[in-house]
Amino acid sequence: MNQNNESELEEWEKDVEYLVSVLKESFESTDARYSVDDLNDILYVELEGLDEYSEEEIIEIAEPILDIIELDFKDVILLPLT
């Protein structure tokens, strides 16, 4: 992998980790993790305590964050941490 690709990958990872961190803080989670489905271009974010929120509350909290932090995923799926 050349230097530019490595640098771009590192920046992309920082952006994803920043998004997860903001979501974790917004949902007052103590733990979070993420995984990427490269084939389908989907980001899965698991958040501790997410199951304590209604679907409407999740949308109300997450939608503005996802609108501001633009990442090139077809979809971002939030799940309770198991």
Q: In the prediction, which pLDDT does 26 show? A: 97
**Who contacts 73 (Cβ-Cβ below 8 Å, separation ≥6)?**
41, 42, 43
Q: Which residue has the higher pLDDT, 11 or 44?
A: 44
Residue 71 has pLDDT above 90, yes or no: no
For residues 30 and 46, the answer to whether their CB atoms sit within 8 Å is no
Each residue's pLDDT tens digit, 56-69: 999 999 999 998 88
All structural domains of the chain with their residue ranges: 3-80
Instruction: State if pTM tops 0.85.
Output: yes
For the 3-80 domain, the top CATH level (class) is alpha beta
Distances, alpha carbon 5 to alpha carbons 8, 17, 59, 63, in Å = 5, 18, 34, 30
* Buried-exposed string 8-28: b where 16+ CB fall within 10 A, e elsewhere: eeeeeeeebeebbeebbeebe
28, amino acid identity: E
